[in-house]
Amino acid sequence: MSDFLKTFWQYLIPQHALSSFVHWLTTWENTWLTPFVIRQFVRLYDIDLTEAQRCNPEDYQSFNDFFTRSLKSDARPIDCCETTLVSPADGKISQTSDILRNQLIQAKGFQYSLEALVGGDVALANQFYDGQFAVIYLSPRDYHRIHAPTDAKLLSMMYVPGDLFAVNPATVRTVPELFARNERLVLSFETETGPMVLVMVGAIFVGSMETVWAGKITPPYSNTLQYWDYCNSGISFHKGDEIGRFNMGSTVVMLHAKDSVKGLTAHVENTPVRMGQAIATLVNPSDNQASHEATDDELALFETEPSTR
């Protein structure tokens, strides 16, 4: 009942209109009000501004300028091991598991499909059958820029229109297919260990989602699915490079192909992570092939070895 009371009102409000208003409000430049609001926000959420490149509230032109602040170069060290997958964002790993053929777990009693999450792109979804996924929730106190979790080449971006429910734990437990229902950006990449997708999920009062290669995607909001092909663009990222940002709290869903990572599902619910922190180990496809060949050879040897009885 508590979760219901926290979420039912979201069905009743004009989600996109309110989010557009919040975006306008957070980008409004006011020399005396902005520092005051930032100080209250820092105090409320216990934010460490000493990590930011600009440490003083007076240095920000608007609340959104503060909210999407950049950090000092040494504030988030990137794990340097070539075989590690790092967190693309600050936040909490709210869910991580194997993908059960094409089904992802949202919460107890709720599942959603790969096809729904990636906007109906069946060919893209097929690449992640029986793979692994992780959901990272960014609260209002977190750093809100998204970074590459490994070296990757950008293949495509899809804007999927949808609702703008909140993505806090109560809503996740209450609204069916939340991450496949909300507005989102589906970012498809090629890595040395196989395909990878990052889904930036919008939410109520998330006034803006943007990427470093295309700029601001929302607002304005659209009712039409939009697709950008970057296969021949040559856009690539090194592990830890910035790829996009949110305004206000939201969620990133990571998709990895079968046998391409290990250790990702070992994280318990609500594990805190920081951008650049190692969260899994990458598995080279050739290593998997060699392992399978070795298993086949051992099986053949076992079958042909004469009995000693």
Exposed e or buried b per residue across 296-307, where buried means at least 16 C-beta atoms within 10 angstroms of its C-beta:
eeeeeeeeeeee
Has residue 39 got a pLDDT over 60? yes
Domain extents in the chain: 75-284
Q: Which range has the worst mean pLDDT, 109-118, 172-181, 203-212?
A: 203-212
**β 236-237/226-229 pair status:** unpaired
> pLDDT tens digits for 94-152?
999 999 999 998 876 789 999 999 999 999 999 999 999 999 999 888 999 999 999 99
C-alpha to C-alpha distance for 184 and 160, rounded to whole angstroms: 5
Please name the residue that has the structure tokens 């959420």: 45
Please list the active-site residues: 90, 147, 250
C-alpha–C-alpha distance, residues 75 and 78, integer Å: 10
pLDDT for position 302:
37
Residue 175: pLDDT band (50, 70, 90) is confident
Question: Which of the pair, 298 or 177, is modelled with greater confidence?
Answer: 177
Q: How confident is the model at residue 301 (pLDDT cuts 50, 70, 90)?
A: very low
Q: Name the percent of the chain lying above pLDDT 90.
A: 65
CB 232 within 8 A of CB 242: no
Mean pLDDT estimate for the chain: 88
Distance (Å) of CA 218 to CA 16, 148, 196: 10, 21, 23
Single-letter residue type at 284: N
Query: What's the CA gap between 16 and 20, in Å, rounded?
Result: 6
pLDDT at residue 246 is higher than 70: yes
Residue 95 vs residues 99, 105, 218: alpha-carbon distances, Å = 12, 8, 26
107 vs 178, more confident: 178
Distances (CA, A) of 110 to 42, 105, 173, 253, 257: 35, 6, 8, 16, 22
Can you say whether residue 246 is alpha, beta or left, with left for phi > 0 and alpha for psi between -120 and 50 degrees?
beta
Residues facing 189 on adjacent strands: 154, 196
At residue 13 the predicted structure's pLDDT band, cuts being 50, 70 and 90, is confident
The 3-state secondary structure of the chain, one letter per residue = CHHHHHHHHHHCCCHHHHHHHHHHHHCCCCCCHHHHHHHHHHHHHCCCHHHECCCCHHHCCCHHHHHCCCECCCCCCCCCCCCEEECCCCEEEEEEEECECCEEEEECCEEEEHHHHCCCCHHHHHCCCCCEEEEEEECCCCCCEEECCCCEEEEEEEEECCECCCCCHHHHCCCCCHHHHECEEEEEEEECCEEEEEEEECCCCCCCEEECCCEEEECCCCCCCEEEECCCCCCEECCCCEEEEECCCEEEEEEECCCCEECHHHCCCCEEECCCCEEEEECCHHHHHHHHHHHHHHHHHHHHCCCCC
Task: Please check the confidence at residue 90 and state whether its pLDDT lies above 50.
Answer: yes
In this predicted structure, the answer to whether residue 173 has a pLDDT above a threshold of 90 is no
Residue scoring higher pLDDT (175 or 107): 175
